[in-house]
Amino acid sequence: MTTMTMAPPAVALHGVSRVFGRGPSAVRAVDGVTLDFPRGSWTAVMGPSGSGKSTLLHCAAGLERVDAGQVLLGDTDLTVAGDAELTALRRTRIGFVFQSFNLIGALTAEQNVALPLRLAGKRPSRSAVRATLDAVGLADRARHKPRELSGGQQQRVAIARAMVTRPEVLFADEPTGALDSTAARTVLDLLRAMADAGQSIVMVTHDPGAAARADAVVFLRDGRVVDRLAGADARAVADRLAAWER
């Protein structure tokens, strides 16, 4: 336990704020959040709708500009990084998975997975790409296009695409939000296995069952961190969420 806290966090937020709009109609989507996402561990972010979960995730991943504070990925300050640097980070150190799988419809599963590597100027070997697809259980669907895959399969392709670059941190915004419980379980099993293998994961979710699979749960309300739970089961998470949603 001591070694966990001593290791530098995968992502650290210091006093991060993000305000949308101006004047009286301004929305403080993220309001002075200071938070560490530990390395090699899976953290879930929960909270009522509109509490700023997605915005927090986007800020942590360098997709959204922050109005105040600092975001550190390892020892890289994302808030001062330029576009080229952020692009390079997306190719090498950050992976994304979203609720709407955001695959490129024109490309096959295999091509979608290989895309980040090809954008980085690498020539991915077919076997490496196949191995990544195999890891998400889709080796036999390599040549299918997204529209020929089920939602759960598409999401697993998206995870394979995010993992193919072996990122330091995987960001996931409601990765099971559009899936039925069986497909969701497959995806969560996959994430659990990755976390057990040392992958840092930050995941936003509505589902207490999904959050309970993570190592820790952070609760957000009105853009602020209001609570934190570690190693809780689904019922405990649900009770806590209900308390904060009241």
Partner 1 sequence: MLGMSRAGLAERWTLFVGALLSVALGVALVQSSLLLLISAAGANSDDAAVPMLGITLGGATFLAGFIISSTFAFTVDQRRRDLALLRLVGGSRGQVRRLLLGEALLLGLGGAAIGVPAGLGVMSLQTWLMRRFEFVPPDFVGEWRMWILGVSIGTGVVLALAGVLVAARRAARVRPLEALRESGAAARLMTAGRWVAGLFFLGGALALVIVAPHGGPAGGQAMAMNVAMPAAVTVVAFGPLLVPVLARLMPFGGGVLGALARANVRDARRRSASVAAPLIVLIALVVGNTGAGESFTSSGIGEVARSTHADFVVEAPVPARPGVATVSSETMLPAEIVTGSGEDRETTDVTALAINPRAYAAVHGTPVELTGNGVARGPGGEVPTDGSVRVRLLGLSPGSPGADLGDLPVVAAVPEMMSGGASLLMLPGQVPAALLEKAPTRSFVALEPGADASAVRADLARFGPVSTLGEWLKADAEERNSTNDKVMLVVLGLGGLYALIGVINSMVIGAATRRREFAEARVTGLTRSQVIRSALLEAYAVTGAALLLGALAASAAFFAVLSTTSAVTGTATLDLPWPLIAAVAAVALTVTGVTSLITSWSATRHPPVTLLAARE
Q: How far is the CB of 54 from Mg ion (least distance, A)?
A: 3
Calpha distance 243→26 (Å, rounded): 27
Binding flag, residue 54, ligand ATP (CB under 6 A) = yes
Q: Which is nearer to partner 1, 154 or 199 (CB)?
A: 154
Comparing CB distances to ligand ATP, the nearer of 110 and 207 is 207
Supply the DSSP symbol for 166. Answer: -
Candidate ranges 52-60, 90-98, 194-202, 225-233; the one touching ligand ATP (CB under 6 A): 52-60
| Beta carbon nearer to Mg ion, 112 or 205 | 205
- For residue 131, the SS3 value is helix
- What's the CA gap between 52 and 139, in Å, rounded? 36
20's contact among Mg ion, partner 1, ligand ATP, none, with CB below 5 to 8 A by partner kind, is ligand ATP
> What's the distance, CA 22 to chain centroid?
29
The site partner of 178 among Mg ion, partner 1, ligand ATP, none (C-beta below 5 to 8 Å per kind) is: partner 1
Provide, rounded to whole angstroms, the least separation between the CB of residue 48 and Mg ion. 11
What interhelical angle do 151-163 and 109-119 show, nearest 10?
Answer: 20
- Does 53 sit near ligand ATP (CB under 6 A)? yes
Q: Do 223 and 30 contact (CB within 8 A), yes or no?
A: yes
Count the site residues for ligand ATP by CB under 6 A. Answer: 12
Specify whether the CB–CB gap between 32 and 16 falls below 8 A.
Answer: yes
- Which pair of tokens denotes residue 29? 């989507």
Strands (DSSP E) found in 174-231 = 200-204, 216-221, 224-230
Residue with nearest beta carbon to Mg ion: 54
When binding is defined by CB under 6 A, the residue of 9, 31, 41, 51 that contacts ligand ATP is: 51
Q: How far is the CB of 55 from ligand ATP (least distance, A)?
A: 3
Are 11 and 42 in contact by the 8 Å Cβ rule? The answer is no
**Which amino acid makes up residue 177?**
G
Give me the 44-83 binding string for Mg ion, x by CB under 5 A, dash otherwise: ----------x-----------------------------
